[in-house]
Copies of this chain bind each other. A is one copy, B any other.
């Protein structure tokens, strides 16, 4: 098991200068950096084994197919589920769309789809579209002024609305709030709702056991969890997953095709038409191996201590306002400074080599609820260190001087 602070060395991208300053990468919520083993694996695939999967008997194809399906097994183990319950998609967004499209026939006019005010657009718009298609109603659990949703309120709203579908993020990409989804799911199950959890942000920081969570569907994106771009995962309990109608159609997901009729394979194959993102699957396999070698509780403790350090220093700056749940948090904080525009702060921070995200973070409804036009978001990962935070705080103080001076 690795010493957490040493792991930073595996991320070569972090070792560079921006505008003459060392890069301080605080935008892992947008996409994580990749450890060298992931980059090497992609390299190795393309330069040694490059072939299509499930399509050839020859050695390269057989080798790659074994590795490719091996990653599915590996991830299944990591998540505590069966490999047959995991579908490769092109991203969390694709995963949610697949489910929202697939549930169309299970909804009637006036049925309720319940979501929270914290959701990313990817976990809003597909449900809105589904509601429009079916005449169902989209109901939203609100946040308080601080951007917090309390567990009791969620339970009460589930009880009140008796939703057919309950879709909820595991952690907010804008505020970092961790939601008590296990409790929500249990409640939603009692009333027979289908539960979909958006784990895009949570997966890397919380390593959930999906069997324990007991949700029907869980989605994530590889690129936010040390893996390559262009790969998402959809977990679905086998029966529910296999019960969804086919989504996209094409090669490899079929059993037989004639011009009159086509029969489809069983899940997960039925949802995987066409050539998959092979290099990304193999790269993500390396990411899962890498994560498996990191002691989770050590990582978690380290991330939380970094986050506390960040909050301490950030809240000490006069004029800074923090949002969200500061206690149950994956290590992501949104803030504003007086009435300054996030654009100015982000641009100025960048001139000091500090990479943060600014704006609405694809959560416009949350911004409306908080009466903001945007925030600066700092999102941490285990490869950050205290120096990053010191540099960020010092840069922020300089920016404030620049603006006010």
Contact = CB atoms under 8 A, between A and B. Distances in A.
Interface of A: 12-13, 16, 18-19, 23, 25, 27, 30-31, 33-34, 36, 38-39, 42-43, 46-52, 55-61, 90-94, 96-97, 120-122, 124-126, 128-129, 138, 140, 221, 223, 228-231, 246, 248-252, 254, 256-259, 262, 273-280, 343, 346-347, 349-350, 354-358, 362, 364-365, 368
Contacts of A276: 229-230
Contacts of A60: 18, 23, 25, 355
A33 B279 CA distance: 13
A362 B257 CA distance: 9
Contacts of A31: 50-52, 275
Nearest to A356: B58
The residue in A94, A129, A279 that gathers the most chain B C-beta atoms within 10 A of its C-beta is: A279
A259 B124 contact: yes
The secondary-structure label for the interface of chain A is: mixed
Given A34-B47, A57-B347, A120-B251, 12 more contacts: A34-B46, A57-B343, A58-B356, A91-B275, A121-B251, A122-B251, A125-B254, A125-B273, A223-B275, A229-B276, A256-B364, A259-B365
30 contacts: A12-B47, A13-B48, A18-B58, A19-B59, A31-B52, A34-B47, A34-B50, A39-B47, A56-B357, A57-B347, A57-B358, A58-B346, A59-B350, A59-B355, A61-B355, A90-B230, A91-B275, A93-B250, A93-B275, A94-B248, A94-B274, A122-B249, A122-B250, A125-B250, A125-B262, A229-B280, A251-B362, A254-B364, A258-B364, A277-B280
